[in-house]
Every structure is written in structure tokens, then in C-alpha cells.
Structure 1
Amino acid sequence: MKELINLSTYKIEMDIFDSDWGKVESFLDRHQLDGIELYVDQSPLPDGIPDRLIQGVHLPYWMGRHRAWMDNDAFSCGMDESEKIYLFGGLSRGEVVGNFRRAMENAHFLDAAYGVFHVAYVELEHVFTRSFDCTDRDVMDTTAAFLNESVSSFPGGEPPVRLFFENLWWPGLTFLDPGAITYFTEQLDFDNWAFVLDVGHLMAATMRCNKEEDAVDTILEVLSKHSDDIVDRIEGMHFHCSISGEYMRACFDMDIPENFDKMPFYDRLGKVMQVVERMDQHMPFTDERCSEIVDYVSPDYLTHEFILHDLQSTEHKLRTQRDALNKGMRKISKT
């Protein structure tokens, strides 16, 4: 199993390493990590990224793309172009498909082993209302159609990088319904895919995780309902802890902020992210029983996925979680 950490080329994260890839490599060596899961989108890649450090990539997530595939008028609605690009991934279906193809090509250029893709749908107001007007399978239908079209032009109709489908707690792939997973995968016209299990997202989806020790049992209970074939297809893991069950349940009674629909897009997005960060905490595991989740799945890639603010807190989170994981794995190996 290769252990990674997440990173993007956004200034706020690169500033942690003074925009020096040599310092990034020293960080990986210091913590005995195998590399990075790097966020990439359709934009031209910055110069100087050492591909030897890149094990995987996280592809862009256009949270409202499902609506754009359901509603022919979505791209002609009155929202600003910047909002359409952020939510839908472009200003037309063809542009969205082209942008996703370029993102996959960027991943291939970096020689990434995989590219993570969210199978989920949420728009800004849904975070408050939870009124989605669609089912998991509705989102899976449009996602499969989008993916099939996007990869069809590549040699053999296969994506140039293995696609890892990631779970969220919004409509789509949640990992709570084994039947829905089979429904989704049977619609795919290509074979170069697997799953990445985001442990914190699954905690949020259950809305039952209030203590870390109980959360491990909850995750193992959910996973036990899946077939061996599905668990075997979980080749990646985003590893972090999100003890937000009480907050997730309380969100069903949440009010939309006053004058929300009149706010500029990025102000609305800021309000939404305040809520999402409480749902999806990205904190380190401290209980060594977290190793039982890793042992059950046996992923090929495990990404210690945190919200990166500064070097000191990042190193503290990483050391905390790896200490818990390694202690637990040593115990398991002795049994």
C-alpha cells in the first residue's frame, strides 16, 4: 500500500512549501510518504511539477453538472458565466466534456496511476434545504452518460488514466446502497475504473458518527454489506475522520441565510463552505482501531487527506493519524 498526501497547485497550499517542489519532496521523505495525490483540472499544468512525486490526481468536481445533463436550458439560464463554469464545468455540454478530457490528459501527462472523480450532485441552496429533487440513481444515470461520452474518443474507448469514483454524502455514490453501486457500474462502457473510499465522507453520509471509536464500527458495518467484488474494486482510500453526525442531523432544520439568492456568487459559496467544513471535517484519526478499516479494504493507495493551512498543523495531523494507523496495523499483524 502506498501512502500519499493531498496537495493542489493553488497558491494557498503551495505557499506552505514556499512554492518549492524540493521542499515538497523533503516533506515526503521526512514522513516516509510515497507521493502526492495532486488536484488537476483542465487548465494548462504549471511548469516544474516533478511527475516522480505524483502518484494520483484528483480531477475537478463540477457540483451542478447533473442539472446541466437533465435540463437543456441550464446553460442559458441567467447566472454569470463564472458561476456556470464553477457549477457545470463549462458553458455548454461540449465544453464540459472537452474540459474533462483535458483534465484526464493532464493526469496522463503526469503519469498518474489514477484520477479521482466525484459521482455526486449538489447546488448551493441544497446545502441548506436538502431538497434535491433527484435520487442517487438519477445522478448515476447522468454521470455514466457524461463519463461514457468523455472517454469515448480515447484509444479503445478507455480513459487515459484509471478513474477512481469517490463517494460523497449528496445524491449519487454514497456507499450506503450496494444495489445502486451495481446499477451505476453496469452503465459504464469502459473498464479502466475502480473506487476510492473517502472514509470521512462515508461517516457524514451515515449521520451516525458522533465518537471516533463508534465511527469505526459504523464504517465496518456499512462495508460488510458490500460484496467482495465491490470491496476488491476499492483501490484507493481518502483517510480522515469526520465526527459530524449530530451536525448532519441538525442540518435538516437549517435556514437559508437571509437574502442568500441576492448575494454575489462567491459570497454564497463562502456561506456554503462554512457549512460543508463542519460536515466534512478532515480531521486526523487518533484511535488505532482506524487501522481496521484499512485492513478490511486493503487499498493500493491511501491518501492522508486534510485541509492544508500551514506546515505545522499539516505535520501534526499527519503524525497523529499515521501513529494511530501504524500502531493498529502492528497489532493486526500480530494476530
Structure 2
Amino acid sequence: MERLFHISTINKYLEWFEDDWDKIKAFSERHQMDGVELGLTLDYDISRIPEGIVKGVHLSFYPMWLDFWQGNLEKVEQILGSKEAVRAYYGGEDKQVMIDTYKKQYERAKTLGAKYMVFHVSHVCIEDSFTWKFDYTDEEIIDAAIELLNEVFPADEEGPLLLFENLWWPGLNYLDKEVTHKLIKGVKYAQKGLLIDISHLILTNLQIGTEKSCYAYIKEVVKNLGELKDYIYGMHLNKTLPKYYMSQDRSYLLERYRETQAPMLKNRILKQHIQKLDPHRPFDHEIAKKIVECINPKFCVYETNPADIYEMAYFLKQQNKALGILYK
């Protein structure tokens, strides 16, 4: 198993390391990591990245994409507010822009020598994340994702593993074995598999309030996948305990979101809500080791959301300690 940590080529991370990949490599080695999973922006010069450090690439994610994919621009424009906002969100007004974007990312992943790519299989409209009422079923989203992926990734070409990641919204969530199997079977690209994000899986059971209940639930879900467990090549290790937040009355959040006019303030309300659900905190409890052993992935990614490089180092140390890894 390779242990990786997640960074991105956005300014936040680049500034921490002064855009110096020798410093990123040294940081990785100091914390006994085998490399990085990279969120790769299309404008970053990948010739700066030395060979061997990037093990995986996280492909971009459009949380609400299905209506755009189906050509329902009227609905998308109504949600986002204007045609300009639609163009800014997707990069254009036709679904071909999504296909082209993912094809470019695929080529860049191959150039970097990445072993795998991560793709979110999910769809959610903004207000649905507050109400938990959704427009589409898991299967409808899986069907559309298969269409998109078969447009992007060639069936007759060998490349990095394409790993499908779960979310707690409709799409891939690992609660339905047959739907999960449909995704695996329907995508024609041969090198494919699954990735379990621990926090995202926990959020499919909003009664979880302890680390031990996390483990019991994850173990049961993985067991119910049966032979599909063999397709699980990756995991994102992080923690959330949603019971306390979800037991509160949150109806005021949607009201505030609807009444707020300024896009920046609306986005702040949404972001704070999502971060309460999915804070990307480190799994600092010793039972994390049992969770990793249960899933037994080829790639275990420490995907957390630190505020600065010092907190990132602290988060890596916490998860290493939870897995019984000692510092030299």
C-alpha cells in the first residue's frame, strides 16, 4: 500500500512550498509518504513537476452537471443566475466543453506518469445540499456518468487507473451493490476501479457520532459490496462525525442562503455548511488502522483540509500515529 497526501496546484498550496517541488518531495519524505495525489489545474506548467512524485491525479468535479449535460441550460441559468455565470462554471455553454476538459486532464495525467485518476460520480444542486431533497436517483446519475466517461476515456487505450469516488449525494455512494456494478460494467475504459472516501461514506449515515460506529458502518457497507470489494484500489482517509451537526435545526441556513443577494456571501454560507458536514479532518483515532485494513487499498490518501503548512504537517502526523506509523 502506498500512502499519499493530497495537494493541489492552486495558489494556496503552491505558496506553502514556494512552488518548489524539491520542497514538496522533502516534505513528503519527512512524513514517510510515498508521494502525492494532485488536484491539477489546467493552467499549471507540469514540466515543473519531477518524475515519480505524483502518484495520482484528482480530476475536476462539477457538483451540478447533469442538467447541463442534458442541455437544460434554462434550469442551469436559473440556478446560477446568468449566462455569464454558466460559462464561468462550466467553461462554455455546450457539454462538449466538459468532454474536452476531462480529455485534457487525462493527457496531463498520462504525461505525469500518474498511476490513477479520481472521478467523482455525483450530482447535487445547491439548495439540495441543505434540504436533502434531490432531483435525480443514483441510477440516473450513474447512467449519465457512464455516457460522459465513455466520451472521454478510450476503451482501447491503456492509461492510469480510473477510480470512481463516492459522495453522500445521489450517484455513487456504495449503498446499492447493483448500481455500483452497473457503473463498473458500463464504463468501457479497461483500467477502472473504486475509491472510498471515508468521510463521504460516513455521511450516508447521519446518526454516526463516534469513531467506533464509523468502523462498524464502513465494515458493513464494504461487506455488502461482496465481490466488488476487489475493485477498491483507493481510499481517502479523513473523518467526520455528523450526528451533532445534523441533529440541529438548520432550516435557517437555507433561508439565509435564499435571502442573500451577493454571490460571494451566498457562496460563503454554502461553503460553511459543506465544511460542517465534510470538514476533511484527520482520522486521529486508532480505529483508523482497522478501517484501512478492512478496505485494504493500493493507495491510501491523507485527504485533509489544513489551513497552512504547519497544520498539514500536524494532520499527517496525527494520521500516521493513528495507523501506528512512528517517526524516525
From 243, 246, 256, the counterpart of 2:244: 246
Is the Cα contact below 8 Å between 1:13 and 1:309 reproduced in 2? no
User: Against the structure 1 CA distance between its residues 278 and 37, is the aligned structure 2 distance closer, same or farther, given a 3 Å change threshold?
Assistant: same
Deviates more, 1:196-205 or 1:86-95: 86-95
One-letter code aligned to 1:102: K
Percent identity of paired positions between Structure 1 and Structure 2 = 27
Task: List per-residue Cα deviations over 1:236-275 (Å, max 9, x = no partner).
Answer: 1100111113324547745414363763444322221100
- 1: CA distance, partners of 2:158 / 2:97: 18
Equivalent residue, structure 2, for 1:208: 207
Kindly state the Cα deviation for residue 75 of structure 1 after the two structures are TM-superposed.
8.5
- 2: CA distance, partners of 1:5 / 1:294: 15
From 271, 278, 281, the counterpart of 1:280: 278
Asked if 1:62 corresponds to 2:73, the answer is no
Kindly state the Cα deviation for residue 10 of structure 1 after the two structures are TM-superposed.
0.9
Equivalent residue, structure 2, for 1:20: 20
Which aligned pairs between 1:84-233 and structure 2 lie closer than 5 A?
A: 84-85=86-87, 87-88=89-90, 90-151=92-153, 154=154, 156-158=155-157, 160-228=159-227, 230-233=228-231
Equivalent residue, structure 2, for 1:77: 77
Report SS of the residue matched to 2:55.
strand
Is the Cα contact below 8 Å between 1:124 and 1:269 reproduced in 2? no
Equivalent residue, structure 2, for 1:331: none
- For structure 2, the 5+ residue unaligned runs are none
User: Against the structure 1 CA distance between its residues 124 and 261, is the aligned structure 2 distance closer, same or farther, given a 3 Å change threshold?
Assistant: farther
Which aligned pairs between 1:257-268 and structure 2 lie closer than 5 A?
A: 257-258=255-256, 260=258, 263-268=261-266
Q: What RMSD, in angstroms, separates the aligned Cα atoms of the two structures? A: 2.3
Report SS of the residue matched to 2:219.
helix
User: Against the structure 1 CA distance between its residues 253 and 289, is the aligned structure 2 distance closer, same or farther, given a 3 Å change threshold?
Assistant: same
Kindly state the Cα deviation for residue 87 of structure 1 after the two structures are TM-superposed.
4.5
| TM-score, L = length of structure 2 | 0.90
Is the Cα contact below 8 Å between 2:77 and 2:85 reproduced in 1? no
Equivalent residue, structure 2, for 1:39: 39
Equivalent residue, structure 2, for 1:332: none
Deviates more, 1:193-202 or 1:9-18: 9-18
User: Against the structure 1 CA distance between its residues 127 and 57, is the aligned structure 2 distance closer, same or farther, given a 3 Å change threshold?
Assistant: same
- 2: CA distance, partners of 1:65 / 1:292: 36
Task: List per-residue Cα deviations over 1:211-240 (Å, max 9, x = no partner).
Answer: 112211111121111113x11111011001
Kindly state the Cα deviation for residue 42 of structure 1 after the two structures are TM-superposed.
3.7
Is the Cα contact below 8 Å between 2:166 and 2:197 reproduced in 1? yes
Report SS of the residue matched to 1:64.
coil
Task: List per-residue Cα deviations over 1:50-100 (Å, max 9, x = no partner).
Answer: 232100010000111111123443598364456325644642111111111
- 1: CA distance, partners of 2:117 / 2:94: 23
| TM-score, L = length of structure 1 | 0.89
User: Against the structure 1 CA distance between its residues 214 and 259, is the aligned structure 2 distance closer, same or farther, given a 3 Å change threshold?
Assistant: closer
Task: List per-residue Cα deviations over 1:135-176 (Å, max 9, x = no partner).
Answer: 11111111111111122xx4x544743211000001100112
User: Against the structure 1 CA distance between its residues 251 and 86, is the aligned structure 2 distance closer, same or farther, given a 3 Å change threshold?
Assistant: farther
Aligned length: 324
User: Against the structure 1 CA distance between its residues 92 and 157, is the aligned structure 2 distance closer, same or farther, given a 3 Å change threshold?
Assistant: farther
Kindly state the Cα deviation for residue 296 of structure 1 after the two structures are TM-superposed.
1.6
Kindly state the Cα deviation for residue 189 of structure 1 after the two structures are TM-superposed.
2.2
Report SS of the residue matched to 1:288.
coil
Report SS of the residue matched to 1:4.
strand
- For structure 1, the 5+ residue unaligned runs are 329-335
Is the Cα contact below 8 Å between 2:184 and 2:193 reproduced in 1? no
From 223, 234, 237, the counterpart of 1:236: 234
- 2: CA distance, partners of 1:181 / 1:67: 22
- 1: CA distance, partners of 2:285 / 2:56: 27
Equivalent residue, structure 1, for 2:301: 303
One-letter code aligned to 1:231: K
Is the Cα contact below 8 Å between 1:210 and 1:245 reproduced in 2? yes
One-letter code aligned to 2:2: K
- 2: CA distance, partners of 1:25 / 1:123: 38
Report SS of the residue matched to 2:60.
coil
Kindly state the Cα deviation for residue 130 of structure 1 after the two structures are TM-superposed.
2.2
Is the Cα contact below 8 Å between 1:83 and 1:265 reproduced in 2? no
Asked if 1:4 corresponds to 2:4, the answer is yes
